[in-house]
Structure 1
Amino acid sequence: MRRPTSMSEKRNICGSRLTTACAVMGVCISSNLQASGFAVPELSATGIGTANALVANPVDRGAVPYNPAALAFHDESWLSVGSLLIGPEFSVDTANGSGDSAGANWLAAPMLQGAIKLNERWSAGFSVNAPFGLETRWKTNTFAPLSGSIPLPPPPHGPGGSVPASPQPTQSSLEILDVVPTLTYALSDELAVAVGADLYWVKSAKLNSSITQLEGDGTGLGFNLSALYAKGPFSAGINFHSSTTINVEGSYSVLNPTLLLIGALQPSQTAELDLDLPWRLQLGVRYAFTPALAVEVDWTRNGWNTFEAIQVTGDLNGAILFEDRNDWEDANAYRLGVTYQLQEQTQLRFGYAYDETPQGDAYFSARVPDNDRHLFGIGVGHRLGDGWQIEAGYMYVKFEERKYRSATLYLGDAEINGTDAIDGDYEANAHLIGLAVSRSFDAF
């Protein structure tokens, strides 16, 4: 491939690649504080209280989103409406000083579940949740090697002034909703299986940087399979969600017209990318030591190896605008949940989980400053009578500090991931609150 021979040619190529890199990464990546990568496994208020250890639970309504096969063990139809509130806090110390993400104080996601008992063998269910995404807002000049400007030739040979040496990411956000219809069949009194679909909708994906903006949305389709065995005080469950590719289509626009005049940026246009979501496998066992006390242990495997690269295509000429490498690895999570029936109407919940990060040092990204983390949950459920039930859960998420130092020099090229441009000490934590109200109805 021919190399650029002049300084202006180098500048144009570098500016175009850098801006596109910043823009497209903002569409599909957000910093997440609850699970490995940018996953959000909290699907119910019950799950928040038990640190998501519910895949083997045949009793509680809030366990159904984690294992739809549990519907076979419920004698009633019911509907649950709730919300997940997330308060993230994360910061980085770099050569430019200390920087905090200026994201929204609290973010909200839906938690909606329902069950219909069709007959003694068949049940239908659905849920709506937000299994992926969050938001980051880094201030300009957080990272020193990405700061600065390039002087432009003065008139009459150029427009004069200067342009940013590299795009400064400001806001990156991603909202994904998953609508999950399922069908459950009881093979026997002790064993049930379920099959369902994952209807993903990228409700909002956007980036604001110092010089560009990209917004988009899209849809994708996957499937899920689950099974649950329960006999006496013992139960065991399995749940699998397939990997999914979501086609994201959006509009790419340039905020600095000077960069268009000097040819440093691609013109505003529509573009698209394929966002690969990981497969998820959950296994769990639960044992009721007494009528009041039950303990569950779960293992989760997230197939992040599907998240290898991001490739964005412009619609003007079909050319690949940018290809970014992530090269993540599959990651495990280990969960412990405890439920205690304090009274006939009131249940207490406790949980702890340890989630591994899929992100190594080779392609570490400041947009997803991920690391291993600890999750602590507590919650309560209370039956009010006449089929009504209220639930609440609180979770604290603590990241292990990540002191990232790279031996790969940042040379002003498009590849920022894994370079010393984003060296720093990263810290993060989050507060999660789940609230839900449900009501049961007479079965068939």
Structure 2
Amino acid sequence: MKKLQHPLIPIGLSLLACGSIEAAATRIAFVDAFATARGNAFTATADNPSAVFYNAAGLTQLEGTQIQGNVFAISLGYEYSGATGSDDMDDTYQPVPSAFISHTFKDAPFALGFGMYAPFALGTDWGGDDTRFQLAGQTVPYEADLQYIKYHAVIAWQISDSLSLAGGLSFDDTTVDIKTNALQFDGDDQTMGYSLSILWQPSVKHSFGLNYQAKTDVTYQGKASGPAITLLTGGATNRANTKADLVYPESIVFGYSYRPNEHWNLEFNLDWTNWDHVDELIMDIDGNLGPSPTYTLNWKSTFICELGFTRYLDNGWHVSGGYTFVENAVPDTYFLPIVPDTDRHFLAVGVGRSYDHISWQITYQQAFASERTVSGNQTSDTIDGGYDLDSQAVAVSFKYSF
């Protein structure tokens, strides 16, 4: 692995002094350390600036101006074994930073928020010296780096004591780099997105949240190079202008929080992601040089189930724990090693403390998954075999209020 988790994609994101990062994954659901400790069950709680991502309507619960920084650092290692050999990805920890700021007006029922984060990321690398997927064949991608950074501005309106609504617009900047042993494609694009959310708290014991993130369509424009281009041009060049379309899906998250007393907060979230939009990736090469390289994907819509709790203690301390189940979106038939998706279970635990103007949180997360056996792959039979996941993550957050 070159860096973080699910469809075609690692990320580079600037966060204060943290600089750039990369990761190996598709949709990045874990952003805030407190939410991560709760199994990411935070949509109906949403009581810190990362609500910009989880449920912007929750910003109306905050006071004054608050700034929050997060780092989610993951070690995501996959091992492959098949009839003709084995391979593995690097499991070095990779940091995924994010930053949020919020302001709630004192004499008006409105709150504003802004966030920089990566809702999608993939950075897989099976390459190296004589590694199996790097040598497997011209059609098998062995490395993929995708950056998708969202700059998200939201406004929240507290309609009544129990109901808040929010909407937001985002500017999304994304780049991609894909490699096989015959072809490399790198491109970039920018697009716009939007979000809608609701927070309803009919009583102090019950809270309901709903968060919608719209799909975005991108057209990566860049260059394709390598022996495949040399062959298509009859040796005239090894580089050509190329574009590729890809859809990033919408998601809807419903959350319910139960608070039997001031010491406990228990929450359940159900998250649906519409991966049905992700049908194929076509690299359209300028100049009518021949058939465009095409990857059939046919991903399936999936659910994420999230369950968590927080126990609030004396002197500002709190402890949290949670469980997350992420459903596999990628069928065996069109499985690619750059997106080694599988059903995954996550357990997390975290501790934090709040003071007058600052608070912090640290979380540990462990992933569990049965070995996935791929058979009947239509891209290449060299992809068939077993894929085993070993993943841990650490998340930290720091918040300052004034």
TM-score normalized by the length of structure 1: 0.79
Give CA-to-partner distance per residue, 1:289-339, whole Å, 9 cap, x none: 221111000000000000011122223459762332111111011110101
Letter paired with 1:348: V
Residue 428 of structure 1, aligned match among 365, 389, 398: 389
Alignment pair present for 1:29 and 2:16: no
- Return closer, same or farther for 1:262/1:278 CA change in 2, 3 Å cut-off: closer
- Return closer, same or farther for 1:241/1:256 CA change in 2, 3 Å cut-off: closer
In the TM superposition, residue 210 of structure 1 has moved relative to its aligned partner by 3.0
Letter paired with 2:95: A
Alignment pair present for 1:269 and 2:224: no
Residue aligning to 1:330: 301
- Return closer, same or farther for 1:289/1:272 CA change in 2, 3 Å cut-off: same
In the TM superposition, residue 261 of structure 1 has moved relative to its aligned partner by 9.3
Alignment pair present for 1:212 and 2:183: yes
In the TM superposition, residue 169 of structure 1 has moved relative to its aligned partner by 3.9
In the TM superposition, residue 47 of structure 1 has moved relative to its aligned partner by 1.8
TM-score normalized by the length of structure 2: 0.87
Question: Mean Cα displacement is larger for which, 176-185 or 315-324?
Answer: 315-324
Letter paired with 1:397: A
Alignment pair present for 1:251 and 2:223: yes
Alignment of 1:228-377 (within 5 A): 228-230=199-201, 231-254=203-226, 260=231, 263=234, 267-317=238-288, 321-377=292-348
Alignment pair present for 1:439 and 2:365: no
Residue aligning to 1:8: none
Aligned length: 380
Residue aligning to 1:87: 75
8 Å CA contact 1:31–1:370 kept in 2: the answer is no
Residue aligning to 1:179: 151
Distance 2:28 2:246 in 1: 16
Distance 1:435 1:185 in 2: 29
Residue aligning to 1:108: 95
- Please, which runs of 5 or more residues in structure 1 have no aligned partner? 1-27, 148-164, 409-414
8 Å CA contact 1:67–1:238 kept in 2: the answer is yes
8 Å CA contact 1:58–1:235 kept in 2: the answer is no
- Return closer, same or farther for 1:193/1:242 CA change in 2, 3 Å cut-off: same
Residue aligning to 1:142: 132
Identity among equivalent positions (%) equals 23
Task: Point out which structure has higher relative CO (alpha carbons under 8 A, 6+ apart).
Answer: 1
In the TM superposition, residue 267 of structure 1 has moved relative to its aligned partner by 3.7
Letter paired with 1:278: P
Distance 2:385 2:37 in 1: 33
Letter paired with 1:29: L
In the TM superposition, residue 120 of structure 1 has moved relative to its aligned partner by 3.0
In the TM superposition, residue 141 of structure 1 has moved relative to its aligned partner by 4.9
Residue aligning to 1:55: 43
Distance 1:183 1:329 in 2: 32
In the TM superposition, residue 79 of structure 1 has moved relative to its aligned partner by 0.7
Q: Secondary structure at the match of 1:65?
A: helix
Residue aligning to 2:114: 126
Alignment pair present for 1:166 and 2:138: yes
- Please, which runs of 5 or more residues in structure 2 have no aligned partner? 1-6, 12-23
Residue aligning to 2:375: 405
In the TM superposition, residue 400 of structure 1 has moved relative to its aligned partner by 2.5
8 Å CA contact 2:185–2:225 kept in 1: the answer is yes
Distance 1:329 1:37 in 2: 16
In the TM superposition, residue 168 of structure 1 has moved relative to its aligned partner by 5.9
- Return closer, same or farther for 1:256/1:286 CA change in 2, 3 Å cut-off: closer
